[in-house]
Amino acid sequence: MEKTANIGANLFYQLPKFEEETVLVECVGHKDFLLFFKKMYNILVTDYRLIITDSSTNHEQRTIALGMLEGITKSRQSDYVVLHCGGEEDEIMEIQRKDILIDMVKRVFSTLTKKNLPIFVSVKKKLDEYVTSQEEAEQGISRMPDISLRDKTERLVHNSSSDEEEDADKENESDPTDDFVIKRTEPQQKKEKARMVDIYNKSDLIDYEQKGMTSSGLSETIFSRKKKEKAPKGKSYREENRKFRYQDEEKKSKIEETVGLEVLNEENSELSFESLDDYDDCANKEPKLEDFKIIKVLDKGSFGKVFLVENKLNGRFYAMKRIRKDVLIEKKQIENTQNEKKILLDLEHPFLLGMSYVIQNDLRIYFFLDFIEGGNLYQNMFKVKRFKEHQVKFFAAQLVLAFSFLHDHGIVHRDLKPENVLLGADGYLKLADFGLAKPLPKENPFTYSFCGTTEYLAPEIIKEQGHSFTVDWWTLGILVYELRTGRTPFLHKNTHQTTKLIKNGRIIFPDPVKHKIDMSEEFKDFITKLLHKKPSRRLGHNSSKDVLNHPWFKDIDWEKLKNKQIKSPYMPEIKEKNLKSHILGGISSSLGFNKKRRDEQGDVSETSLAPSKLDLVMKNKHKFDDF
């Protein structure tokens, strides 16, 4: 076996592992460093993942779940290899014994997924043009080569369903002129992610994650919101009403009645209390991390994992979003995360996802969000192919109220898409994921950052002319079109063409005879006015009341809708009525925390940080004082 610097079994045994995980191949890789230097790394391929470590320190630099790979590009003229990670930046290295490594990676991939890993071959010596950067990944852009560069001799699985591209080609041949034939197949990335989530949920790894909750320093409960809820059997709670004062820029103070709400750091919050009533000891106890039991891993995002957890004090379930401080520092996302926390805590609305607790320790921040059982709109749309118009109207009306509420409080959401809309068991929705939400100043309510999902980007964001609240109304127009037709209006297989169509393309509505998709004239008018290229002429520019008063909503009783007094025309499929058996039964994708149309890869070593990461967090500790 090739000699590598400071590598071997001792290093592997120091890393968090899957049960019975085995090193299959180890080799050396080099990355370009500065202008004329290269840095050496060790590469381990196991039966689940690829691990890259610094050869001089043995510190882990990156872990790539092999089942999440989208493809590999190799050079015919050099040792350069690009690992296409999908949803995150690609990895490019010069790898000695590259063919041995690629052969093992594709075999592990096929074992995990029963699919072929696409292998692309380029005649170019360097492969920089095929490397997706972090910024491009966040925008949903991929530089992976097209199918013409794919080496089909690299296939291991020989059947017609083993390649997603072949399946898509066959569907295209069935009716190449029909743009509204549903070609949507569940993204390969999401299928593999579900398989990897199952791997993450092995009992030994769950135990490892549970121990990690208490090994990162003392935890501090920053915020606790106690909601009126039915007590679990065997426990008694006395729910009391309290008064609190809510202050904002427009209203000096407003006294309202609410249910058990408590802020533990009044100095940093806009919520302060007039009076407090006594609670039962158990209900009044401030929860710590050790009071939550991890049930399973639900998802993996850019900043950490999302777990389903149970509060051992009251038996209630939450979605615990665990956020790594070192990643927030590196990606300069501290301010955005503070905005997300503030929005989730300060604003309550029937159609916004709620948060009950915020806890932090030395290394991480924990958001305890409402657990929503019915999945997100994307998952439900995939089941039914497309929603009926009256169902779309029901969803849209709730989002109009949610956006109206946010805009009244000076907040623009900027990331509406089916994945970020959750469905409760009652068929009502919750708008989620405020990672891109931003408060806008009253005097100049514009921001200039480039963010969002490609298919949902407004023209003014692409042109970087500055954008305001009207981008949310644009995304609503895209969403209702997609929910009804099964595709977004400016979709193109080439991302660059998609952005050109967004800026200059016209909206094409389906033919009711050819495509069997009926859309009322009021519905088409609603979409057309929401998708006006000029923000100043877009529906909702003057006020959300213009959206509420559109003829398409003439049969909506807004007050009854807000109070959830209208029966939902669509009910999500929930196999088990009992929440705990429902959870343990394997429903693991009930949250819409994916940041992109293509989900991020996961890793299993999050509970241990390299010394360099620990040092980074300690040096920036003061930046988290306001959490």
Written as one string, the DSSP assignment of 496-563 is HHHHHHHHHPPP-PPPTTTT-----HHHHHHHHHHT-SSGGGSTTSS-HHHHHTSGGGTT--HHHHHT
Extract the tokens encoding 468: 């305001």
CATH number for position 261? 3.30.200.20
pLDDT tens, position by position, 307-339: 899 998 888 999 999 999 998 998 888 888 888
Residue 313 in domain: yes
Last residue of one domain, picked from the residues 77, 98, 132: 132
Domain identity same for 364 and 381: no
| pTM for this predicted structure | 0.60
Residue 527 in domain: yes
Higher pLDDT, 363 or 395: 395
Is pLDDT of 65 > 60? yes
Residue 384 in domain: yes
Most confident of 310-319, 422-431, 588-597: 422-431
Residue 179: name the closest of 513, 521, 489, 518 by CA.
489
Q: In the chain, how long is the greatest CA-to-CA distance?
A: 74
Domain identity same for 480 and 529: yes
CATH number for position 124? 2.30.29.30
Residue 472 in domain: yes
Q: What is the pLDDT of residue 257?
A: 33
pLDDT tens, position by position, 262-276: 333 333 333 322 333
The CA radius of gyration of the chain, in Å to the nearest whole number, is 25
Last residue of one domain, picked from the residues 515, 543, 562: 562
Domains held by the chain: number: 3
Domain identity same for 263 and 285: yes
Domain identity same for 353 and 433: no
Range from 404-408, 535-539, 611-615 carrying the lowest mean pLDDT? 611-615
Is pLDDT of 598 > 60? no
Q: What is the pLDDT of residue 262?
A: 34
From residue 444, alpha-carbon distances to 103, 336, 448, 469 in Å are 56, 19, 12, 12
Catalytic residues: 415
Residue 488 in domain: yes
Domain, as residue range, for 479: 377-562
pLDDT tens, position by position, 191-240: 444 554 454 455 555 555 555 555 555 555 555 554 433 333 333 332 33
Domain identity same for 355 and 434: no
Extract the tokens encoding 186: 């569940």
Last residue of one domain, picked from the residues 369, 404, 427: 369
Range from 138-142, 539-543, 617-621 carrying the lowest mean pLDDT? 138-142
Q: How far is residue 171's CA from residue 486's CA, in Å, rounded to a whole number?
A: 15
Extract the tokens encoding 264: 């533990």
pLDDT tens, position by position, 274-290: 333 333 445 556 788 88
Domain identity same for 359 and 436: no
